[in-house]
Chain A
């Protein structure tokens, strides 16, 4: 009982142009397994589901094969197909009631496959259908109702009953939860679990990522008809490898995610292949992505290369060329020229001491392109030192720093400027970090002056103005002539932000950028940072002592204690289920529960053992002897002998 989809292509013909709905989609669903197909609307999810049942409309051309239990389905043979449908391969259609026949009672519609395929008499079929519907949780008084008399959840039960009454080996569920409340979703999940237990192969088509994560084993991410990534379902939010997967996950309101919703820049609509006029087909046929707002004469570059490149925030020049193939990376397959999300910054064993005081103990850190990593921790835990080492402002005593795949120290020695151009820094105190002798214009233009860019004054002014507009500041000349002491803190910090962004850096390092702002201004600045992250794909290292704030904006969170990271992982996990007692203490203190915070004195100068042990409620004898090292535990790294599990 398995379903194999091999190199499946679907093209919809429509007059003189065609829409490429699926391209080379290969998917394998084994018995007892649920594969979730996710992606934005129009990515071709439903087309794939329907294609498996041979239900594509007449204007669709397909290529490739679908194997059911190893044997190819012949879509041209309607008779054979009809024998197959419902019996061995069935589908729960989306839109609930709309896919039921409005003039038949629900019981008759559920009984129909029995009559058609099993040759049962009407009464026998009705009996069986009644039992089946009751099993699935639709009580008898509803059985004789028409679809429009039933609630969404009841219709969904009817549809599931229809699809499962003949006990097919493969079930395709198309958006089974889209119109359901959370409790009814639980029932669908139960049905899926039970079907998997009986060795069914399930294809779950959904945009409900959390539902897919909990019910599927494997997730396939579809974009404009291509599979961008297949990955273990539980890594969807915690460890995506394709930029599209990450962006999709960031857009999804999962319960555990505290971060504000992101989005994906730009729009995708259809992939259109068409020709103008009736000239030579070879010459006039071309393909492009049709974006809803643009008329089709607007964008005409045929999309070669990665389909996602114009929305991707880490796209490089070569992403627009050639064909990008699926590749195996870790236990995912990824369709990305750069083998998935690249590592922007990598610190390996960096240490820093000030005199005899160790500010950073050997510390490893990775920041991936496009993510926002928050570093939280108490005062003196080494957060700022870490940020400044990452920014290249201070030099570590030991360890290696890699930026964008190059050794940072060698790079800095050779050409500090070109590295500095790629890293923007925002400091804690905006008033301090702008010279009081500089006007707003001079301050924002300073990095340009340093790099000798935009020598032409008008051009420079234009750029400065556009950056100021990006950070929602005034762009009139009077404002450009203002001096820092004439501005409020919020405006000043935005000037600092503009200054950090004016060279279009790849990475932004922000050291407590909002600690001097009041909450309303802070909210504005943070919202701005998140918008910039979506639009420019800025990678951010965000240092904050405010864990409540960090959780609202970060994808990942690192918790620092006495110069080392004691817990690092997806923010949602770190916040909802902290493993390290120190993390828990920070979160509880942020909530205002200070009774747990026992007095422990300085944690800094503990040479042996866990630096947290004097304050730790869980400490045991080993904690004094041996410092715990970071280990992987439930999707994150934690350094503790006795973590909360």
Chain B
């Protein structure tokens, strides 16, 4: 089974839309210092202004420019998303591949750990922990990564088990290849598409979780985050500021998640060929 990832993704309309959305978000996040008209942290007396030429989306209750906050919020969301996605894939593949290759007691321990992490309701655990330690962005990334690698590890583990029995890997083993060689030269390349799917869903989950935690007010109040913006906006729901404060923030968050979902949906058939159309052999 030779999967052409590029073809798989570019052949799907929603995936292209997803990519465009994600690209826009990434550009916004990267270029925020250049395109944001104000320092998003800077407070002023002109609070709760309606949108105007100087403040495109008005200002919030402490007089911060909402448009600038929205741009900087993308930074937080995507930074947390990509870092957690990458770290989760890293943990997941290290544990999954090594468990499948080494086997024995080591495999049993790792996989039981994975099983127990899967049954624990992650959101509750994170809320509990986060509520205690009020994590800054770095701690948040680590925390989310540590609690979201297990489902990927399980998929990678089962895929590695099946890959291990492939003829060419059995052949390499019979030539005396070490496990590390098998992992690097054969298994990781073969897992590539799966790692990609795992990565994208990891990002999506982390973006969502970060926003959710901030919305609940249990993240570092010093970081600008879409979740926190929505929480603040809700406090003023009796005014009409929600139109330019709550709605654009919600749209930005939703678009990001929808974009990631589109991409993920396009590459998902890689994990499960049964989802493929008949024309793909």
The B166-194 residues at the A interface (CB cut-off 8 A) are 166-178, 181, 185-186, 189-190
Contact between A393 and B2 (Cβ–Cβ < 8 Å)? no
A425 surroundings in chain B (CB, below 8 A): 171, 174-175
Cβ A450 vs Cβ B172 within 8 A: yes
CB-defined contacts of A393 to chain B, threshold 8 Å: 170, 173-174
B residues 134-181 with Cβ under 8 Å of A?
Answer: 166-178, 181
B167: chain A residues at CB < 8 Å are: 427, 429, 432-434
Chain B residues whose C-beta falls within 8 Å of the C-beta of A496 in the assembled complex: 171
Contact B175 A420, beta carbon cutoff 8 Å: yes
Report if A278 contacts B (CB, 8 A): no
Residues facing B in A629-643 (CB within 8 A) are: none
Q: Which residues of A contact B190 (CB under 8 A)?
A: 435, 437
Contacts of B189 in A (CB 8 A): 437
Near B by CB (< 8 A), chain A positions 411-427 give: 416-421, 423, 425, 427
Which residues of B102-156 have CB atoms within 8 Å of chain A's CB atoms?
Answer: none
B177 to chain A, nearest CB (A): 5
What is the bound-complex CA distance between A434 and B170, given in angstroms?
A: 10
Contact between chains at A433 and B170 (CB < 8 Å): yes
Taking a contact as CB atoms under 8 Å apart, the answer to whether A391 and B175 are in contact is no
Please report the total number of B residues contacting A with Cβ < 8 Å: 19
Let me know if B174 and A391 touch, CB within 8 A: yes
Most A-side CB within 10 Å, residue of B167, B176, B177, B189: B176
Per-residue CB proximity of A416-460 to B under 8 Å, as 1/0?
111111010101010011111110000000110111000000000
Q: Among A392, A418, A434, A451, which residue has its beta carbon within 8 angstroms of that of B174?
A: A392
Whether a CB of chain B sits under 8 angstroms from the CB of A503 is yes
Determine the distance from Cα of A176 to Cα of B99 in the docked complex, in whole angstroms: 73
Across the interface, A450 reaches (CB within 8 A) one of B2, B169, B170, B175, namely B175
Q: Least Cβ distance of A516 to chain B in Å?
A: 12
Q: Which residues of A contact B172 (CB under 8 A)?
A: 446, 450
Asked whether A421 and B176 contact (CB < 8 A) given A437-B189, A437-B190, the answer is: yes
Majority secondary structure, B binding face: helix
Closest Cβ–Cβ distance, residue A482 to chain B (whole Å)? 15
Please give me the residue from chain B that is nearest to A429 by CB atom.
Answer: B167
A328 at the interface (CB under 8 A from B): no
User: In angstroms, how far is the closest chain B Cβ from the Cβ of A508?
Assistant: 12
Cα of A449 to Cα of B177 in the assembled complex, Å: 9
Q: B177, A450: Cβ atoms under 8 Å? A: yes
Is A435's CB under 8 angstroms from B176's CB? no
The minimal Cβ–Cβ distance linking B269 to chain A, given in whole angstroms, is 18
Q: How far is the CB of B176 from chain A (nearest CB, A)?
A: 3
**How far apart sit A435 and B187, CA to CA, in the bound complex (Å)?**
10
Per-residue 0/1 for A515-538: is the Cβ within 8 Å of any B Cβ (1 yes, 0 no)?
000000000000000000000000
Name B181's closest neighbour in chain A (CB-CB): A450
A69: min CB distance to chain B, Å: 62
Q: Are B171 and A450 neighbours in the complex by a CB distance under 8 Å? A: no
Query: Chain A residue with minimal CB distance to B186?
Result: A435
Q: Does A296 contact B (CB under 8 A)?
A: no
Let me know if A447 and B175 touch, CB within 8 A: yes
The answer, yes or no, to whether A485 is at the interface (CB within 8 Å) is yes
Most buried by A among B167, B170, B175: B175
Check A416–B176 contact: CB distance below 8 A. yes
Contacts of A451 in B (CB 8 A): 175-176
Asked whether B2 lies within 8 Å of A436 as measured between CB atoms, the reply is: yes
B173 to chain A, nearest CB (A): 7
Q: Is the CB of A433 within 8 A of B171?
A: yes
Beyond A432-B166, A435-B186, whether A427 also contacts B171 by CB under 8 A is yes
Query: Least Cβ distance of A510 to chain B in Å?
Result: 12
With a cutoff of 8 Å between Cβ atoms, the chain A residues found around residue B185 in the complex are: 449
A25 to chain B, nearest CB (A): 47
Cα A16 to Cα B171 in complex, Å, equals 58
Interchain CA distance A427-B185 in the complex, whole Å = 20
Residues of A contacting B169 with CB < 8 Å? 435
Complexed CA–CA distance, A416 and B170 (Å):
14
Docked-complex contact A450 and B174, CB < 8 angstroms: no
In the bound assembly, the distance between CA atoms of A449 and B189 in angstroms comes to: 17
Q: How far apart are B160's CB and chain A's nearest CB, in angstroms?
A: 15
Q: How far is the CA of A432 from the CA of B177 in the complex (A)?
A: 18
Q: Which residues of B contact A436 (CB under 8 A)?
A: 2
Residues on the B chain within 8 Å of A447, using CB:
175-176
CA distance A496 to B173 in the complex (A): 14
B49 CB to nearest A CB, Å: 58
Interface residues of A in 374-425 (CB under 8 A from B): 391-393, 416-421, 423, 425
Q: Which residue of A lies closest to B168 (CB)?
A: A435
- Whether the pair B2, A417 counts as a contact (CB closer than 8 A) is no
Complex CA gap A449/B171 in Å reads: 14
Instruction: Enumerate chain B residues within 8 angstroms of A417, measured Cβ to Cβ.
Output: 176
The chain A residue sitting closest to B171, CB to CB, is: A433
Of residues B166, B170, B172, B185, which shows the largest number of chain A Cβ atoms within 10 Å of its Cβ? Answer: B172
Do A420 and B174 have beta carbons less than 8 Å apart? yes
A503 to B176, CA, bound (A): 11
A98 CA to B177 CA, complexed, in Å? 65
Closest Cβ of chain B to A400, distance in Å, is: 20
Give B196 Cβ to nearest chain A Cβ, in Å: 16
Q: Which residues of B contact A433 (CB under 8 A)?
A: 167-168, 170-171
Task: Give bound CA distance, A429 to B165, whole Å.
Answer: 13
Cβ contacts under 8 Å, B170 to chain A? 393, 427, 433
**Once the chains are docked, how many angstroms separate the CA of A488 from the CA of B161?**
29
Contact between A503 and B175, CB atoms less than 8 A apart: yes
The residue in chain A whose Cβ has the minimal distance to the Cβ of B177 is A450
Complex: how many Å from CA A447 to CA B172? 7
Residues of B within 8 A of A418 (CB): 176
**Across-interface contacts of A423 in B (CB, < 8 A):** 174
* Nearest CB on B from A603, distance (A): 27
Which residues of chain A are near B177, meaning CB under 8 Å?
Answer: 450
Is A485's CB under 8 angstroms from B174's CB? no
> CB-nearest residue of chain B relative to A509?
B174
Q: List the B residue with the shortest CB-CB distance to A502.
A: B175
Is the beta-carbon distance between A419 and B176 smaller than 8 angstroms? yes
CA distance A434 to B168 in the complex (A): 5
| Least CB separation from B175: chain A residue | A447
Instruction: Name the distance in Å between A160's Cβ and chain B's nearest Cβ.
Output: 59
Closest to B176 in A: A420
Which among A437, A485, A503 has the greatest number of chain B C-beta atoms within 10 A? A437
The interface residues of chain B lying within 8 Å CB-to-CB of A435 are 168-169, 186, 190
Closest chain-B Cβ to A107's Cβ sits at a distance in Å of 73
A152-188: which residues lie under 8 A (CB-CB) from chain B? none
Complex CA–CA separation, A497 to B21 (angstroms): 51
Complexed CA–CA distance, A438 and B181 (Å): 14
In the assembled complex, the Cα of A431 lies from the Cα of B53 at a distance in Å of 66
**What's the nearest-Cβ distance from chain A to residue B178, in Å?**
8
CB distance from A439 to the nearest CB of B (A): 13
Q: Which of B168, B177, B185 gathers the greatest number of chain A CB atoms within 10 Å? A: B168
Question: Binary interface profile of B, 20-46, with partner A (CB < 8 Å = 1, else 0)?
Answer: 000000000000000000000000000
Residue of A nearest to B2 (CB): A436
> Told that A392-B174, A434-B168, A450-B175 touch, could you supply 14 new A-B pairs with CB distance under 8 A?
A391-B174, A418-B176, A420-B174, A420-B175, A425-B171, A432-B168, A433-B168, A435-B168, A435-B190, A437-B189, A437-B190, A438-B168, A450-B176, A450-B178
Question: Can you spell out 15 A-B residue pairs with CB atoms less than 8 angstroms apart?
Answer: A391-B174, A417-B176, A419-B176, A423-B174, A425-B175, A427-B170, A427-B171, A432-B168, A433-B170, A433-B171, A434-B167, A437-B190, A438-B168, A450-B175, A451-B175
Q: Which 5 A-B pairs have the closest CB atoms?
A: A420-B176, A432-B167, A433-B167, A417-B176, A435-B168
